[in-house]
Amino acid sequence: MVALGVAAYQTIRWAEGPAIPTQEHPPSKVVVIPNGSTFQHVAALLESEGLIKNRAVFVLFAKSQSADRKIRAGEYELNPGMTPAEILSELLNGHVLLHPLTIPEGLTIGQIADLAAQDGLTDRADFLRLAKDREFIASLGIKAETLEGYLYPDTYKFPHPTKAREVLVAMVEQLRQVVRPDLLARMQDLKMTMHEMLTLASVIEKETGSGGERPEISAVFHNRLKKRIPLQSDPTVIYGLPAFDGNLHKKDLSNPSPYNTYRVQGLPPGPIANPGIQAIRATLYPSDSRSLYFVSRNDGTHQFSRTLIEHNQAVEKYQKRPFRRASLPRM
């Protein structure tokens, strides 16, 4: 009996140690604990992955702490150099593996849904459905038809899988954290609503990738709004098209879409993308420029003009003349 007791004690002590000594620097392993798994199943999984030495001892150890029914399902990154007690602690505390999700500035809801659905993070169809669900949007305290513009571009970390609702809530909440009281106060000074501010910010975001130009472009749009001149923004036209082949055609400028700012005066009905903080700040703090026009220089920057004559000259210089040169037959 004494010999059996000593042997059992030594077995338990052996099983309580790491599967592989830490000094050997064993690589970590990712294991998935499915919903509804019994603790016996979890112990067997850990043993088969070489993360624990003995499943029976692991089960007894968990039961002795009344922990066998408290583990949380999910994806875990565990190391054979961890003791069973450390592994159990990870499972009990739900320290699941988090995956980064980076959302660049200027993406639409559809593009964000594509990124969020990659690698099985969340369901794309559910993401799009909720992003346009009036009841869900209202539950977030937002007065809009969709969440376009309200999903803040940032790097997030989520476990796999995560419900689309949780992803959307996290992005909306991040927008609230970024638009601080000082920006809200400035928005009120300009007599803009949150929806109007995000709408204009999204247009500015899509018009230029040059951060230094955003306040100048913002000034052009603010000036046009004050003078009741149509914004004439190509990105808004593109957003309103049922399909876009990559080239904006003259006929598209006649499209009777509420997003066609060549035909419709003022802001479009809502954001055309999800703007970042630079575009938001540019919207609220435009430069003191009196420009009313801008045209691409074809190098990522724009030429700004105060008069239509100056603008037409810039169009000739940067758009028409280079095109004609490129079209000349080679001798």
- Residues 290-309 have a mean pLDDT of 91
What is the pLDDT confidence band of residue 327, given thresholds at 50, 70 and 90?
very low
**pLDDT in the model for residue 210:** 79
**pLDDT in the model for residue 106:** 96
Nearest partner of 299 among 235, 184, 204, 213, judged by Cα = 213
Q: CATH 3.30.1490 spans which residues of the chain?
A: 20-38+54-96
**pLDDT in the model for residue 329:** 45
What is the pLDDT confidence band of residue 4, given thresholds at 50, 70 and 90?
very low
| Third-level CATH fold of 20-38+54-96 | Dna Ligase; domain 1 (3.30.1490)
Greater confidence (300 vs 329) lies with 300
Torsion angles phi and psi, residue 155, rounded to 5: -100, 120
pLDDT tens, position by position, 115-145: 999 878 999 999 999 999 999 999 999 999 9
Helix or strand holding residue 157 (H, E): strand 155-159
| Full-model pTM | 0.84
- Distance of CA 217 to CAs 190, 311, 326, Å? 17, 14, 29
Greater confidence (319 vs 2) lies with 319
pLDDT tens, position by position, 12-62: 555 555 666 666 768 888 999 988 888 899 999 999 999 988 888 888 888
pLDDT at 214 exceeding the cut of 70: yes
Helix ranges (DSSP H) in 163-293:
164-178, 181-189, 194-207, 214-227, 234-240, 277-284
- Angle of helix 164-178 versus helix 124-131 axis, rounded to 10: 50
